Amino acid sequence: MTSKPPSGPTNGLANIRPAIASLRPQGISDISIYGEQFDDVIPLWYGESDLPTPDIPRRALIDSLNNGDTFYQAESGRTDLREAIAAYDNRLHGKPIEPDRITVTASGMTALHVALQTICDTGDNVVLVTPVWPNADGAVAVMGAEPRRVALHYGDDGFWRLDLDRLFDACDSRTKALFINSPNNPTGWMASAAELSAILDFARDRGIWVIADEVYKRIVFDQDVSPSFLDICEPEDLVFAVDSFSKSWAMTGWRLGWLTAPPSLFKTLGSVVQLTNSNSPAFIQAGGLAAIQQCEPFVHEFRDYCAAGRDIVMDVLGGVNRIQISPPQAAFYAFFAIEGETDSMALAQRLVREAGVGVAPGISFGDDSEGWIRLCFAQEPVLLRTAVERIAAMLR
């Protein structure tokens, strides 16, 4: 007796959640894969520096492993690390932040997912200030919620600006959160203290959460830390602040972050982490503890490294008539447009082929970024200058 073939669709995509089936590949991944077929491409497409992690956290990780710290940990993170993070944010923001507001997560991305899992249901929406790194609205979409994008405006003066009225008008009875990435990836825009205060007042009035992605808050070129919701919010305000060790301490590959939240949610968020990945490894947390307690000098050195990269980019690309570019206020990206170029992926591919430079196409950050290009300037100065001079030569 022969068995009958299964009835119905056999394509695996037909049998998974629509929110997952509809996910688009990231343009940054696409262009990096495209670039693999070419030799001597200078890669500026990813959001990370070429600097390795400082010695202090690396030694702390090795010592932790040698001490046998390879067992399960508390889901919310090691007590000593949560205390150190609370003390760090207390110092930066001048407001008491207790350890029961800190949940350690396996990356800033995981912190965002934990926040969204905690508050979003199918049919809800999250309003995002854009352009924004592609994982943000993707994370909203996989929850079954609707990402609503409100684009920054690039003014004639070369500054990106947020229209608060448009942001607030995008909210309705199904809005669960406002997502604010400041300092912003990819534009380098940074919200002012007055803008953050207005957003928090609006969210309080509506009972809406604020999810603040502040992973670039120490990479600011005219002050020590960017304006933050943690400067102004009270402990039980509906605010999630996402942060990470990835950027300021050059620890992208470590996958360690944290979420600052109301203390009443401490046990709840721990339960969500338990269901997500149980806990962050003890030896990774040991490295994070060493970084946040002992590597403040590196944070300042890294900011200077990024500032030097920004100067190189502006010196070279700022002199090309076809390029629309202005110095970013913060973060380590140049986001620019080229006269006559409307297909950012096609342009990024040409830059790989003809200039030997890898950049991120603007379409990666949403349709409202089409025609723009992002490059990461947290790079070794000689190599970075070579890269941008190649770009300038191709576009002149």
Report domain extents, the chain.
20-52+297-395, 55-294
The pLDDT assigned to 5 comes to 52
* 367 CB burial (10 A radius; 0-12, 13-18, 19+): exposed
Residue 357 backbone phi and psi in degrees, to 5 = -130, 135
Q: Considering the entire predicted model, what is its pTM?
A: 0.94
* pLDDT at position 183 over 70: yes
pLDDT for 55-76, tens place per residue? 999 999 999 999 999 999 999 9
Name every residue whose Cβ is closer than 8 Å to that of residue 188 and which is 6 or more positions away in sequence. Answer: 160, 327, 328, 329, 330, 331, 333, 334, 335
The pLDDT assigned to 14 comes to 74
What number is the average pLDDT over the span 141-153?
A: 96
The letter for the amino acid at 183 is P
The pLDDT assigned to 22 comes to 83
360 bridge partner residues: 374
The letter for the amino acid at 224 is D
* C-beta separation of 302 from 295 below 8 A: no
Give CATH for domain 55-294.
Answer: 3.40.640.10
* C-beta separation of 79 from 99 below 8 A: yes
Is 20-52+297-395 a domain of CATH 3.90.1150.10? yes
Kindly report the length of the chain.
396
Euclidean distance between CA atoms 202 and 142, whole angstroms: 26
Residue entry with tokens 């030997």? 356
* pLDDT at position 36 over 70: yes
The letter for the amino acid at 385 is R
Across the chain, what does the average pLDDT equal? Answer: 95
* C-beta separation of 359 from 392 below 8 A: no
The pLDDT assigned to 7 comes to 52
